[in-house]
A and B are shown apart, each in its own frame.
Chain A
Amino acid sequence: AQSVSQHNHHVILSEAASLELGCNYSYGGTVNLFWYVQYPGQHLQLLLKYFSGDPLVKGIKGFEAEFIKSKFSFNLRKPSVQWSDTAEYFCAVKLVGDMRFGAGTRLTVKP
């Protein structure tokens, strides 16, 4: 089965700082890629997804991610974070039906 690695366990930023969260996966075939967010006390919701086409995908709340096939990476970015972005972020890889998640990155944004 494929595996998903998220490099950062806990990231602390000040408001207006730029964000980049790393995600790498192990499978070499055709995959679908996702970033999910879990705000405190809430359930997981989709931030953005990549199925095919333009490798730079834009999601909700100003987030974007770039799929780099040669690097097996799908990093999440946001130019300027807000306090309300404090949450846990999960990268996920889907191969046909099977879907696996990374360990998650906790983001804390200080006002």
Chain B
Amino acid sequence: DQQVKQNSPSLSVQEGRISILNCDYTNSMFDYFLWYKKYPAEGPTFLISISSIKDKNEDGRFTVFLNKSAKHLSLHIVPSQPGDSAVYFCAASALFPSGAGSYQLTFGKGTKLSVIP
């Protein structure tokens, strides 16, 4: 039973356009969400996070949107650059109260983004 789902295994976008990566979750206890980027032969690199008390968080070209009622979040990259080509993982955690999910990140299967020059 996948608690975090990234339903698009891959996405291709032209350089300079917007990339939108989607993530859905089923566990209502999740209240903190993170996006990681992973290049081949490297570990995941933290990109941006959002707490459930917010619905948007921005960091440069990266913006994460959270829709708690729909249990959906998305990562927007504007403008997309060829160096953004990587696998993007959505991850979720339960910070409060301290329960079974507090100590772990639950990941989706990832979306491979290809930015075409």
Decide whether A and B assemble into one complex.
no
Interface residues of B (CB under 8 A from A): none
